[in-house]
Amino acid sequence: MKWTNVKWIYLREVRDQLRDRRTLFTIAVLPVLLYPLLGMTFLQVAQFSREHTTPVLVLGAESLPENPRLLYENKFDTNFASERDAKLFELTIEQGLPEGVALADLRAWAEQQIQDGTYDAVVYFPDEFAQKLNDFRARMQHEQSEAEATRPETAEEAIPEPEVFVNTASDKSRMARDRVDDVLTRWRESIVVDNLRDRRIPSVATKPFQVVSTDVARERSRRAAVWSKILPFVVLIWALTGAFYPAIDLCAGEKERGTLETLLCSPAERSEIAWGKLLTIMTFSMSTSVLNLLSMGMTGAFIVTRIAMLGDDATSQLAIGTPPPAALFWLLLALIPLSALFSAVSLAIAAFAKSSKEGQYYLMPVLMITLPLMMLPMMPTTELDLGMSLIPVTGVMLLLQALIEGQYWEVVRYILPVMCVTSLCCLLAMRWAIDQFNKESVLFRESEQWGLVIWLRSLIRDRRDTPSVSAAVLFGVLLLLIRFFASFMFATPETWAGFAMMTVISLVAFIAIPAITMSVVLTRSPTTTLLLRSARIDATAMAALLALALHPANVAMGLLVQKVYPYSSDITEQLKAFESVIHGAPGLWALILVLAVTPAICEEIAFRGFILSGMRHMGHKWVAILVTSVFFGAAHMILQQSLTACIVGMVLGYLAIQTGSLLPSIAFHMTHNSLSMVMAIYVPKLMETYPGLGFLFSNGEAGTLYQWPAIAVGLVFGIGLLNWFRTLPYEHTKEESLQEALDHQTVQVPN
């Protein structure tokens, strides 16, 4: 690859983008104008915003005690409502119930008044409320027995309770309830203090001590904590948005304008064209993010200053100050790899799109995938640890938060996994983008009318021996949705018989039957799709032996995953319930039949059969295996099990492709699950009978585990078996053969 060609393509694309008014408006003009306009609008609207008065009806005012008085001159007493709060009430005071309204009909009458908007709340004091309150005080003063004095039912029976009628479906009524509750709470506390004073008990007895909260954080640390949540999210969301629209114009837009063919005829290689466009998209992505950040920061500082000049009480909450100077440096530094990642993904998606309109439709799925990764670091319970550092985008945001807050030791501990994961994602995304440019069928496919009915008809009309990529993805998504909703429909049985029946029915009905049905409907050769062909006997035996060799490493990997991502308490309880159920099995044969044989057959038919056969049309064997393994792992629902299942799924996919049959994968899957059952139930009993097995196994808090020598020997032996499978000839698909030819093709272009 010649970087000179990349430079010229980069300069060409930047020049073309700067000539496009829509791109300039989206990247430069919009962020510069958007936030000032929003700030001006906010200040204008703030001038008209005010606290509205709350109309409240007070019934039974004659029943209120004179001391302490709640009402004074048709207002709440200033002892319980400040002058500012008292002005917010528009009180209507009536003596007793409204005319013609009985006590039994009071609730319905109050509901109608609030619904009509006459009042936001209705407060009712029962008859003789003051008299009964005074009687209660008198009894408290003359009681001789302490047990009688502290008897709670005396107070409850003696004094009827006032009622506040509100409509929680109305915002105004809820606000009225909060305001009235504050006043009545202060009034009730005053009555308590008077009662204690009458009995010569100090009022401090109700609150013997106060909890003093002392904030030891410095002002700079508080500002850094706030900005560390806001700035990374703003920068990344605009970096993604700023990358997508230029990518659409550089790829799908050129398809529509017919200028892509001219670029492809140049001496530059496809990879050089992709790199030049990537650098262009990165430039505009970073520019968009920085301009939005600067515009938002200056507008926010102006608004806070303006509010401070107006003397608003909310200024103390908004005046968080400017972000630390070092934060801007860290943000710009982290923006480079993330812009590269977003730009590569956007470039690949835009190259796949047939038109600009179709490319814009793809923005929503990308946002739906990326936003949870951006929102996760903003949760208060999320911390930077090894598990979080291995999550793309999330790890970078947590690392940025630690840098802005000055937690440099945490950065040193986790910067390596964060950068490795981010770099790997960038390389994979860029590899995907280059592959899109190497496919003529992607670059030159024409835009066509699409409809759901038309697409479903084409799936059946244009059937091939194996399903298409879209059919495989559709089935994988439907399978995950079925598994998700089925997990809520059926509760975990408490007996082995119920558990076995539910497991077998769910595997057959929700996994195997849909796969077989879609193979019959969407393909011309279901047996070819599901790899239902004979396999070499030695290959099937080697697959079972491979499962035996790799099982120690798989158990160790599962333990490592649990340490990085510990089980929650709910998952732990579910696993304990599962263990108690399987211990009720009538024998090992039942466990193997339900938890090894049935899953091996049903899941292999669905994943290594239908889905893998469709994914192979992408042209890359390992990409097909990886995507299928992701679906296979996600179907296990629990995160920890999904990660280990994904790795096992890659081995299963490799066996299916290398042997061209589903039997070796079924043998591996069945052997692997059977060993897990034996390890969990029977190995601990065997170790008690035969202590010599301690050189292979060990018992700990995590259960029965393999010793490290067994793991190492099994891993070496397993690698040897995998190499044996590599020597087996396998049948290439047409797409895989074409892609291999493109990968090895060299084109000599004269200078």
Each residue's pLDDT tens digit, 337-372: 889 999 998 888 888 887 787 878 887 888 888 888
- For the full predicted model, state whether its pTM sits above 0.95: no
pLDDT for position 715: 94
Q: Higher confidence at residue 407 or residue 305? A: 407
Q: How far apart are the C-alpha atoms of 572 and 570, rounded to whole Å?
A: 5
Q: How many CB atoms lie within 10 A of CB 733?
A: 18
Which residue in 355, 388, 394 sits closest to 374, CA to CA?
Answer: 394
3-state secondary structure of 650: helix
Strand partners, 534: none
Longest dimension (CA), the chain: 114
Q: How far apart are the C-alpha atoms of 642 and 662, rounded to whole Å?
A: 22
Q: Confidence band (pLDDT; 50, 70, 90) for 48?
A: low
pLDDT for position 314: 44
Q: pLDDT by residue (tens digit) across 528-560?
A: 999 998 888 999 999 999 999 999 999 999 999
Q: Where are the domains of the chain?
A: 3-48+218-443, 54-206, 452-739
Q: How far apart are the C-alpha atoms of 182 and 173, rounded to whole Å?
A: 14
Q: Could you tell me which residues come within 8 angstroms of residue 719 by beta carbon, excluding any fewer than 6 positions away?
A: none
Per-residue pLDDT, averaged over 142-164, amounts to 57
Contact 479, 511 (CB under 8 A): yes
Q: How many CB atoms lie within 10 A of CB 474?
A: 18
Q: pLDDT by residue (tens digit) across 673-698?
A: 999 888 888 888 778 777 777 788 88
CA distance to 55, 179, 324, 635, per residue, from 168 (Å): 16, 14, 43, 42
pLDDT for position 664: 95
Look up residue 529 and give its two tokens: 């799709």
Contact 68, 77 (CB under 8 A): yes
pLDDT for position 410: 86
Which residue in 651, 676, 675 sits closest to 665, CA to CA?
Answer: 651
Strand partners, 704: 699
| Most confident stretch, 5-9, 224-228, 299-303, 522-526 | 522-526
Per-residue pLDDT, averaged over 42-55, amounts to 68
Least confident of 114-118, 266-270, 593-597: 266-270
Q: pLDDT by residue (tens digit) across 456-488?
A: 677 677 778 888 888 899 899 999 998 888 877
Look up residue 631 and give its two tokens: 């679906």
Phi-psi region of 413 (alpha: psi -120 to 50; beta: other; left: phi over 0): alpha
Which residue in 283, 293, 299 sits closest to 17, CA to CA?
Answer: 283
Which residue in 585, 426, 425 sits closest to 499, CA to CA?
Answer: 585
Q: How far apart are the C-alpha atoms of 233 and 226, rounded to whole Å?
A: 12
Q: Higher confidence at residue 298 or residue 469? A: 469
Q: In the 3-class helix/strand/coil scheme, how is 557-605 assigned residue by residue?
A: HHHHHHHHCCCCHHHHHHHHHHHHHHCCCCCHHHHHHHHHHHHHHHHHH
